[in-house]
Amino acid sequence: MNDDKNQSLQIKQDSAARINQLLEARDANEQTCPICQSKNSYVVLDRYLLLNVTDSGDPKTAKVAGSLPLIPLTCNKCGNTQLLNAFVLGVGNDFFKGNAE
């Protein structure tokens, strides 16, 4: 029943609370969805994504050198999704430091 792999990309509750506070402070809820024009429709999902980062700009030789945590912000009316860089939000380290619990 417990799927560790499935839970590993789940945003922890305290991180989610901090992310929501940061977005509220930046009036993220005030923005209009560019697809369906809804207001106050963006929600932070309980999962984050890891985007592979390469060690060089040469696509022939580049290797995966790390990953970048991205927070999905999704319009609950049409599903349009924006990805926010967790490091720019100031919570990037929440996803890497001893979070195995």
Binding site for Zn ion (CB under 5 A): 33, 35-36, 38, 75, 77-78, 80
Minimum distance between the CB of residue 39 and Zn ion, rounded to whole angstroms?
10
Q: Which is nearer to Zn ion, 37 or 85 (CB)?
A: 37
Identify which of residues 50 and 78 has a Cβ nearer to Zn ion in the complex: 78
Nearer to Zn ion by Cβ, of 33 and 84: the residue is 33
Which residue is associated with the tokens 């999902």? 45
Query: At closest approach, how far in Å is the CB of 78 from Zn ion?
Result: 3
Q: Considering beta carbons, is residue 33 or 91 the nearer one to Zn ion?
A: 33
Question: What minimum distance in Å lies between the beta carbon of 40 and Zn ion?
Answer: 11
Cα–Cα distance, 84 to 68 (Å, whole number): 10
**Distance in Å, CB of 84 to Zn ion, minimum:** 16
Instruction: Write a three-state SS string for the chain.
Output: CCCHHHHCCECCHHHHHHHHHHHHHCCHHHCECCCCCCECCEEECCECEEEEEECCCCCCCCCEEEEEEEEEEEECCCCCEEEEECCCCCCHHHHCCCCCC
